[in-house]
Structure 1
């Protein structure tokens, strides 16, 4: 028997003019019973009934439909057709709010569940996301939100929030920027993810704002993103907003920005700085956990950012175990950490806290291959010929998931990986997540994405 799962995220962005529209995005997976595994399904047609509006799922099972405002207050009927299946209809009645819709198709029977989303991470009616930050970059006195924090170190942390635009036709996994081939020279909020405002707050005001925002969120949750090497403050803000949007995150999104030089030629400088910032990150985590009412916090670090994140959390677990219990998940994406150091020193310290720990690694990651060449030792995020699999860590082989130049940023660029993180945020372990299949090595299990 076959069944199709259709998971949708419906985001409504502003009802302000006749040009406004609703973007309906989703992924279709085909599950095989009783083998109990799923693969993205391409070539499935999704149409709005009685219209010519529709699309076909791509190679990752993804689709996007623009729904006219004229039918938003009426019953939306999706017609799903695929070879080997009878056409099925899914009736959805939505108002102009933000919803997540899950449609389950089993044979010819349809089950629809609609959940209204609330939370500060979602867009306001102008398509703008608010993300909070803490940084130990130097403050620059300027009105330009992109240049307010530089690339040099500051002895003190600064706090505040950023407002970031998400274009109405945003596609999951894309950090839209000007494209020279499209003759785009400048950022346009209607087309690109743009940092519109950077606002600095006093520490006391900042944590009050966080408490108020977390109180309004579902499950009193937040995620903190720590970026990697060669990243500016502005790009860290943009990436955080994009990930929060793509994950449909209903809590409070926060990023910690350390003073990366934002230059490919400054790798060794960034290495020294990421070690320097560890105490600041630890201090921020302590304040965040103790001065807010957060109950569930997800910590995600990318690349070199994992060096500070793992050390800071390990120290927190050792010194303040009660505070550390508020950490729901620890996610290491493409960690640029010596594999032996990670296995022998970091893992034993992190696993003392008994938090779920997820490691995403890839053998295609050219940035980590370069790091291996520089250091003369494999990196924890480079699966190479042998993925790093250790007890207490859920290792995910993301090889093949990133088609970018360096294949290093799949945590934000790959729709499949984003979909997996979404399931992780819902509390599903790897054996419960449809996109993964189990593998075994040296009597330990790891998981690999289905291609």
Structure 2
């Protein structure tokens, strides 16, 4: 595939302007505001960002000397006032909790207090979700987005956000990338502390975009130090991973034999990853591969990695880079299956049933071919499904290749 900067330049401008939401939204509402129908997401936030004196911002995009911990409560407006997959940003301050996201609490914690928080917020499943955001995120961006994911997915988990120093500018791509490297030790320590807690039964790590590099590198470091990834880390979800494909192969090899279950969300129309590829010497990104093509098809199958192709799912923004969080079907599927420890390719389900929540949105628009383009990558990497549906597999794989081939630029 050839990339032309002139074609990507509008996307660069959009990236540069996508942080145009109101700023300074994190000052907690006063007076104990209660809105009928509103929901509250209580999360533990761990950050390597530099603290700010202004309580409306809390943390900047610069690098802090130590890992900071904070208990944050975010109010989500009633269902009648919002669409699933969207963050309703305040139009003015203070926010209106009847229509907009609002901060209810932002309380710094020490390590001992964070252990108490974790114990108190574990549900019956004792399952923890650790989320790592991506490139070009302010502190408040990551907090509100994670609150939206937790709420809309309906996942019964104790939510922990790991947010690293991002200057929230497309022109600071290299600074952000080095900030992920700066934060590797801190994320590794956080994951080990959570996994070593006697109160926790299972940990899912979910990362997006450049945050997937940080997550995978931290797990690789854990393997090098301890000889394996902590056994309680059962599930790793990489959404739109901004990782060089060749580098990921090497990272994967270093994980050894005892690996968590990996699920990768890819999309061939991800414009942010197209820009990343251009910046990175025209090296392919893991989140933009076509899993029906070789060598990826065989490699994913042999590795046991589940791949979910979101190419035919409509994105909520021009970049098509956050479909996993913005698509109502996908974010609810995350909560129903992936975050709760099940895979997309559970052998008890057929292809259509396992991916049905995703496929329905596209098939209503463009018909049967889109359904094949979404569901068959699951069959490609799931040996059980391939054995059960050999004829359908071959036919749909051809349809998928033709559909994606016609959609991709040369």
Is 1:420 matched up with 2:333? yes
Aligned match for 2:268, one of 363, 367, 377: 363
Per the alignment, residue 257 of structure 1 pairs with 163
Is 1:274 matched up with 2:180? yes
Per the alignment, residue 206 of structure 1 pairs with 114
Give, in whole Å, the separation in 1 of the partners of 2:192 and 2:166.
22
Aligned match for 2:343, one of 429, 435, 440: 429
Q: How do 1:29-428 and structure 2 match up within 5 A?
A: 127-144=39-56, 147-169=57-79, 170-178=82-90, 184-186=91-93, 187-214=95-122, 217-291=123-197, 293-320=199-226, 324-343=230-249, 345-350=250-255, 352-375=257-280, 376-383=282-289, 388-389=296-297, 390=300, 391-401=303-313, 402-422=315-335, 423-428=337-342
Q: Which has the higher strand share?
A: 1
Cα shift at 1:361: 0.5
Cα shift at 1:356: 0.8
The change in CA–CA distance for 1:386 and 1:195 in structure 2 (over 3 A counts) is farther
SS at match of 1:352: coil
Cα shift at 1:267: 0.9
The change in CA–CA distance for 1:438 and 1:229 in structure 2 (over 3 A counts) is same
Give, in whole Å, the separation in 2 of the partners of 1:359 and 1:351.
19
Give, in whole Å, the separation in 2 of the partners of 1:368 and 1:252.
30
Contact kept? 2:242, 2:273, Cα under 8 Å: yes
Cα shift at 1:210: 1.1
Contact kept? 2:272, 2:321, Cα under 8 Å: yes
The change in CA–CA distance for 1:405 and 1:292 in structure 2 (over 3 A counts) is farther
Contact kept? 1:210, 1:292, Cα under 8 Å: no
Cα shift at 1:190: 1.5
Contact kept? 1:383, 1:397, Cα under 8 Å: no
Give, in whole Å, the separation in 1 of the partners of 2:382 and 2:110.
52
Length-normalised TM-score, structure 2: 0.71
Per the alignment, residue 114 of structure 1 pairs with none
User: How many residues get paired?
Assistant: 321
Identify unmatched segments of 5+ residues in structure 2. 1-31, 357-373, 387-392, 404-410
Give, in whole Å, the separation in 2 of the partners of 1:237 and 1:302.
14
Give, in whole Å, the separation in 1 of the partners of 2:342 and 2:292.
25
Per the alignment, residue 107 of structure 1 pairs with none
Give, in whole Å, the separation in 2 of the partners of 1:398 and 1:192.
28
SS at match of 2:375: strand
Give, in whole Å, the separation in 2 of the partners of 1:293 and 1:322.
21
Cα shift at 1:383: 2.3
The change in CA–CA distance for 1:319 and 1:373 in structure 2 (over 3 A counts) is same
Cα shift at 1:245: 0.8
